[in-house]
Amino acid sequence: MAVQKVLKMGTRGSALALAQSGQTARALEALHPGLKIESVVVMTSGDLFGAPSVEEAKKLAQGAKGFWVKEIEQALLDKTIDFAVHSAKDLPAALAPGLAVAAYPEREDPRDAFFGKPGLTWAALGAGARVATSSLRRSLLVRELKPGVEVVALRGNVDTRLRKLEEEEFDAMILAVAGLKRLGRESVPHEPLDPARMLPAPAQGALALEVRADRVDVAHVVGAIDHGPTRACVELERAFLAAAGGGCGSPVAAHARLQDLGLQLDAFFAREGADAGRRVSGVCSDPARREAFAAELAAQAAAR
């Protein structure tokens, strides 16, 4: 199949988005000699207005996550870009009609990491400590694992958050390891947390390359960096997200990994406004039952 010589790649304009889309472009150009990837920055509603409230998110077809991808997906449908690079955890459970994920490149580290004031470790974190995060999932899991801590709101990009840790009146914060690595900041002191305990967000650490479903030629090009094991794990995690109805104020976590008998999935779900959630786990041995398996686990997690 002939390879189009120039492809326009849509991306958000944050430092992390530009870093990971740039890495993706270089990987594709290396695999397809003569190919040139042009980066097109698309401002999303999330970039312009921040995360929507829970009530606002309920009115959106794709929930809160749609705030971070809606304009990029529209650019795909309008044919102003040929493919898009997303943090896969930002993708809504349902893509816009007419779009598909052509590639999930090999996943970066999916874990969360603990960043403490000098001398403070995760093990030493005790009641009364102030831990900063913007994530409902992290808030609930931190309170579950470290009873008595105070969780405070924290927003901003990675560098802003690291600076606030030095300047603000909180003791620690939680960030994703993958973002730190993609920004070349892995030398910043941090402790990766056990994903079996501090369960990651669905698809955390993975990228998703989205295309129009009718552009088989573009899907062929970007699909060259699809990573089968990553796709299998991420699609199971996203199936749980879809079945649990995450994205509109209900915290969801999901972490899949390959085992001898199939895909092990550990997951967490809490109802909107709840101060605790439920953990569930199981092994999906039949890929054809992925959605049914995810729905069964989601029903267990949602049961009172």
Which residues have a catalytic role annotated?
90
Nearest to 233 by CA among 214, 256, 249: 256
135, 137, 138, 139: CA torsion to nearest 10:
80
CA 214 from chain centre, in angstroms, equals 26
Measured CA to CA in angstroms, residue 122 lies from 115, 192, 262 at distances of 8, 10, 32
On whether the CB atoms of residues 254 and 267 are closer than 8 A, the answer is yes
| Three-class SS state of 206 | coil
Burial of 298 (0-12, 13-18, 19+ CB in 10 A): buried
Q: Give the tokens for residue 13.
A: 């304009």
Q: 176-203: string of b/e by CB count within 10 Å (b at 16+)?
A: bbbbbebbeeeeeebbebebeebbbbbb
On whether the CB atoms of residues 7 and 81 are closer than 8 A, the answer is no
On whether the CB atoms of residues 81 and 75 are closer than 8 A, the answer is yes
| Residues 6+ away with beta carbon under 8 Å from 304 | none
On whether the CB atoms of residues 3 and 35 are closer than 8 A, the answer is yes
Q: How many Cβ atoms sit within 10 Å of the Cβ of residue 115?
A: 21
